[in-house]
Structure 1
Amino acid sequence: MPPVITALAVAMLVIQLARDFLDPDMGIEILALFAFIPARYDPSLLADGVLPGGTAADAWTFVTYAFLHGSWTHVGLNLLWMLAFGSPVAKRFGPVRFLAFFAVAAAAGAGLHLISHEGEMVPMIGASAAVSGCMAAAIRFMFAAEGREAWRPDFLGASVEFPAPPLSVVMRDRRVISFVVVWFVINIAFGVMTATPDGSIAWEAHIGGFLVGLLLFPLFDPVSRHPDDRPLARSRRG
């Protein structure tokens, strides 16, 4: 497991442990300060000072909500998926690029959640949007080494090193298409079926993170481009 994944996991676990020992009032203060609350961005609903943090919190909550979780089951599931899909992405990107990617995916999830839940006071927490971004980023390169390294014990390691094909090529792979379709169906279905007046799974945030991971992957990828993604030569010689 890459050290950056370990550090993120430890941070989330320590935060969850600390919240277990806090009194309820302090827990509410932490949510108000670090969770993503759509109503924070609607001045017609909230007067200045109702939510702490001011303008700075307006910015940092786009990312800090990803480090808060509702229960040990919630944080455990997110860490499990982050280990599975975040590890290869972290190995490929390196720690600095991965942390930037994690933050951008989390912010994209918060942004789509804000658009679809404008004015809501219900806080959104959890790393699912960032983890969804890792899932999408992983499928951009996980099959890239096929034909050279397929079925070897170090296949995953080879895919981390091999240049990723362009998105137009990736989205013609039936396995990728199946993964994307099933992922969207499961997320939307769970989001709709678990909806209650007190809250639901933030499936819109998952989609925001996933789309960013799929579309912005090349901006973070340090590996040289796939040959099919390079400009064609101006002339060819026989």
Structure 2
Amino acid sequence: MSDYEQPTREPVFNIPGVVVALLAIFAAIQAIRDALLSPQQDLWVILTFAFIPIRYAMPVGSEPLPGGLGADLWTFLTYGFLHGGWLHLIVNAVWMLAFGSAVARRFGTARFLAFSALATIGGAALHLALHFGEPVPVVGASAAISGQMAAAARFVFEPGAPLGGWRRAAPDWAYRRPATSLAGVVRNRQAMSFLGIWFGLNILFGVFNLPLLGGGGDAGIAWEAHIGGFLVGLVLFPLFDPVGRQHDPA
């Protein structure tokens, strides 16, 4: 029998199962679209499951787009499972690994999924308000990720907190530190730098129409939806957070 115990090896990556599952679903959908669907079939997928504002400007009873009234509802969520191509998916995956992982560990699976779904719906709602009646489909998980970043900014940049939830395993208490106030986030230079990079990239790809789209026809990446998801994340974070927040000194 050995006089000492073998040290426990920590995993290099610390990715919650719910994040792994979501990214696997995104990748599987993209792979099926690329490898198995014809251009006509892929167009049907986009028209049925992407978010298309023109749906809501059509007369009641007319159903020129596939999916009909059901798609009027489910596309507020399903557009978040489609991507404009592998580069679009990979960019989203990197940010979800970094910030979504931390939020998933803090919230738990059920809260994380519900929170991400509401951020996705909020992103579509703001995009609809600003682009009502437009025919360009919107795709991507960026609204959900924006909501996750809004949530993560409340705790991952604090001293001792887990900046980047996908890296080597952090102790559970690191994900349970009290959240800082919104004023505290604004004062945190590191937090504002990360948020600035995220929105800067999205504005570059959205406003200047840089070649991020690798598939999906004319599907667009709408930065307004990202703003909507971020705002939902800011507003709903206290309702989902199981820990609570710290009180700023007077």
Instruction: Output the TM-score relative to the length of structure 1.
Output: 0.83
Of the three residues 148, 151, 165, the one matched with 1:137 is 151
Distance 1:18 1:151, change over 3 A: closer
Q: 1:5-30 deviations in whole A, cap 9, x for unaligned?
A: 01101111111111111112211111
Matched-pair contact (CA < 8 Å) for 2:99–2:148: yes
Partner amino acid, structure 1, of 2:232: V
Match runs of 1:4-153 below 5 Å: 4-20=18-34, 21-44=36-59, 48-144=62-158, 146=159, 149=160
Determine the C-alpha separation between the residues in 1 that align with 2:48 and 2:75.
8
**How far apart are 1:177 and its partner, in Å?**
3.7
Structure 1 residues 8-59: Cα deviation after superposition (integer angstroms, max 9, x where no partner): 0111111111111111221111111111000011125x86121122222111
Letter in 2 for 1:226: R
Q: 2:169 and 2:22 mapped to 1: Cα distance?
A: 25
The number of residue pairs the alignment matches comes to: 224
CA distance in 2, matches of 1:186, 1:71: 16
Counterpart of 1:201 in structure 2 is 221
Secondary structure, in 3 states, of the residue corresponding to 1:171?
A: helix
Distance in 2 between residues matched to 1:91 and 1:117, nearest whole Å? 35
Q: 1:155 to 1:65 in 2, by over 3 A?
A: same
Of residues 213, 220, 224 in structure 1, which corresponds to 2:233? 213
Identity of aligned residues (%): 53
CA contact under 8 A between 1:37 and 1:124: conserved in structure 2? yes
- Give the unaligned 5+ runs of structure 1: 230-238
- Structure-2 change in CA distance of 1:84 and 1:47 (3 Å): same
Higher relative contact order (CA 8 A, sep 6+): 2
Deviation digits for residues 50-108 of structure 1 (CA, Å, limit 9, x no counterpart): 11222221111011001111211111211121111110011111010000011111111
What's 1:175 paired with? 190
Query: What amino acid is the match of 1:49?
Result: E
Give the conservation status (yes or no) of the 8 Å contact 1:191–1:203. Answer: yes
Q: Cα gap change, 1:195/1:154 in structure 2, threshold over 3 Å: closer, same or farther?
A: closer
Is there any run of 5+ residues in structure 2 with no aligned partner, and where?
1-14, 212-217
**Separation (CA, whole Å) in 1 of partners of 2:161 and 2:144:** 28
* Deviations 1:170-192, CA, capped at 9 Å, x for gaps: 33333334444454444334432
CA distance in 1, matches of 2:85, 2:202: 19
Alignment of 1:145-164 (within 5 A): 146=159, 149=160, 158-164=173-179
Q: Distance in 2 between matches of 1:115 and 1:103?
A: 19
Q: 1:154 to 1:138 in 2, by over 3 A?
A: same
Deviates more, 1:124-133 or 1:159-168: 159-168
> TM-score under structure 2 normalisation?
0.79
In 2: Cα distance, 1:150 partner to 1:161 partner: 8
For the 8 Å contact 1:9–1:79, the answer to whether it is kept is yes
